[in-house]
Amino acid sequence: MNMFCYQCQETLGNKGCTINGICGKKGDVANLQDLLIYALKGLAIFRINVSLEIRKEYAETCNKVDKFILEQLFSTITNANFDRNYFVDAIKETIRLRDQLKKKVAGRGLDVGKLADHDAALFSITNENIDEKAAAVGVLATENEDVRSLRELLTYGVKGIAAYADHAMRLGKEVKEIVMFIERALLSTLDDSLSVDEMVGLVMEAGKYAVDAMAVLDAANTETYGHPEITEVNIGVRNNPAILISGHDLKDMEELLDQTKGTGVDVYTHGEMLPANYYPAFKKYDNFVGNYGNSWWLQTEEFEKFNGPIILTTNCLVTPKPSYKDRVFTTNSAGFDGVKHIADPEKGKTKDFSAVIELAKTLPAPTEIETGTIIGGFAHNQVLALADKVIDAVKSGAIKKFVVMAGCDGRQKGRSYYTEFAKALPKDTVILTAGCAKYRYNKLDLGDIGGIPRVLDAGQCNDSYSLALVALKLKEVFGLEDINDLPIVYNIAWYEQKAVTVLLALLYIGVKNIHLGPTLPAFLSPNVVKVLVEKFNIAGITNVDDDIKNLIG
């Protein structure tokens, strides 16, 4: 066994990848990611109990460490970073920060509690022993299956929280309380004295901070770029050289558009960057053409045909083919061995995309792969503006059910289930979606109900917050005590850890009867599944006909 990883939906045999990851991650990199998480726990030992006092005196340094922690957690999300050297450097820097803070805490005579003597607080590495240490601290180091399951569920939820908080922090938002919870959650996975009930409690508390993280990111995005608007997005191409930008980071989108303005280079979105087309601030750029392609897993085919350079701002990176690898750039927490990386700028400056722009000028225009438009922009502000129309449609019976089909897309053939499910839904149902799961049905001609499209796309995976707000508003309007009495059902697809975060957020606000697929997570032990079924009635998917009968009636 070279590694053990079961954090994503496509893990081998729905049990765990043990040689290399299905995602393309090599065994040594997987182990180094585990060691980075372990090192971050060691750093947290010296931050969590003293951070408030230390922050008062070392505010700027603490903010930098907050940012560092978020970025490193983000880098371990599935399909984010495959670069061995990145993780070796990140582990060494984490240990350096840990030891620096350890001296500071000792100098103050501050008590960091019983974990001060834990190996995570003490270990060191060399280039010679780093792989041996990495192999020793992975997932299977926790022997009890149920304890391991709860620890991993919490860790994966924390990774997603970190990703959302990282985006918000890049736009200047305050996330200290979120980071402090992340540290507390990481430390809990080192504490063998915690009961199962206490661990379940922490998992549920992660749902609260998931909501907080999505709320602060929503505020960051909308205050900076305006509220998403209903938008017809072009999916064709123009005859200009162009740059394709994928991932989730809107700050990168803004800076790229600013720097390409007037250069003759067009910009297209791909994958989870599609919702950038909905924001008013980006519509002023004449060279912002629209969206090219589909979901993340099709990028090896679509990047080939795009012809120009590609920027990957976050996770959803597929191992690039040699034929276009020299056109790929990563930034933020994304990385791949041998791929050019665009570094963060100095404070107060913008990121430098000049190398990407100059490369684009030398390359052909994109090859057209489709034409027409798709519609989106149904985030909470826009849907609530249509609230009267929606409520009338529900009261009249024109809309019988809303079906939340948010979440992730993936490579498995079984995910065609979601396309067939969308096609088979009765014509008096409306799909609420966010995340890349929408690519399974957002180009189907499903029509509308009294002018309301039958697919309402709220945006990226983090915009699942919008779907929660809409549900809570409808609960208020209809005078219901229980959110589960609404005509809303949940059939959610998951792939990586941000989807786990969204699931925990939904559980926190009280949503029950969620169907999760295409498979239940491998990291959920039978006993943990039993708890989730008993408490929240979570279920897997079966087949389209039976699931429609079960969910829609």
pLDDT at 54: 67
What is the three-class DSSP state of 348?
Answer: coil
pLDDT at 50: 62
β-sheet bridge partners, residue 433 = 457
d(C-alpha 20, C-alpha 3), whole Å: 7
Pick from 111-115, 175-179, 274-278, 386-390: least confident: 111-115
Structure tokens at 540: 């897997």
What's the average model confidence in pLDDT over 435-440? 96
CA 41 from chain centre, in angstroms, equals 21
DSSP 8-class letter at 98: H
DSSP 8-class letter at 81: B
pLDDT in tens, 18-36: 999 999 999 999 999 999 9
CATH 1.10.760.10 fits 12-224, yes or no: no
pLDDT in tens, 256-313: 999 999 999 999 999 999 999 999 999 999 999 999 999 999 999 999 999 999 999 9
Residue 55 pLDDT > 70: no
47 — pLDDT class (breaks 50, 70, 90): confident
Q: Which of 33, 39, 76, 56 is nearest to 176 (CA)?
A: 56
What's the average model confidence in pLDDT over 348-366? 97
What's the average model confidence in pLDDT over 415-424? 98
CA 11 from chain centre, in angstroms, equals 17
Residue 56 pLDDT > 70: no
Distant-in-sequence, close-in-space partners of 72: CB < 8 Å, separation ≥ 6: 36, 40, 90, 94, 333
pLDDT at 108: 77
Domain 380-551 -> CATH class: alpha beta
For 277-318, what is the HEC assignment? HHCHHHCCCCCEEEECCCCHHHHHHHHHHHCCCEEECCCCCC
Mean pLDDT across the chain, nearest whole number? Answer: 94
pLDDT at 51: 60
Residue 52 pLDDT > 70: no
Question: Domain locations in the chain?
Answer: 12-224, 231-361, 380-551
pTM recorded for the entire structure: 0.95
pLDDT at 526: 96
For every residue of 28-54, DSSP letters joined together read HHHHHHHHHHHHHHHHHHTTTTTHHHH
Tell me the CATH number for domain 231-361: 3.40.50.2030
φ/ψ of residue 552, rounded to 5: -100, -40
Residue type, 35: L
Residue 84 pLDDT > 90: yes
Question: What angle, rounded to 10 degrees, do the helices at 250-260 and 196-225 form?
Answer: 20
Residue type, 526: P
What's the average model confidence in pLDDT over 202-216? 96
What is the three-class DSSP state of 341?
Answer: strand
d(C-alpha 502, C-alpha 10), whole Å: 18
Percentage of the chain surpassing pLDDT 70?
Answer: 98
What's the average model confidence in pLDDT over 463-475? 89
pLDDT at 484: 93
Residue 461 pLDDT > 80: yes
Q: Do domains 12-224 and 380-551 have the same CATH topology?
A: no
φ/ψ of residue 205, rounded to 5: -65, -35
Q: How far apart are the first and last CA of the chain?
A: 46
What's the average model confidence in pLDDT over 175-179? 94
Residue type, 303: F
Pick from 102-116, 492-506, 518-532: least confident: 102-116
pLDDT in tens, 98-127: 999 998 888 877 777 888 899 999 999 999
pLDDT in tens, 113-169: 888 899 999 999 999 999 999 999 999 999 999 999 999 999 999 999 999 999 999
pLDDT at 347: 84
pLDDT at 53: 64
pLDDT at 114: 82
Beta strand pairing call for 452-453 and 448-449 = antiparallel
Report the run of H or E that residue 539 belongs to, with start and end: strand 539-540
pLDDT in tens, 237-260: 999 999 999 999 999 999 999 999
Structure tokens at 123: 């270990």
> Looking at per-residue confidence, does 412 or 60 come out higher?
412
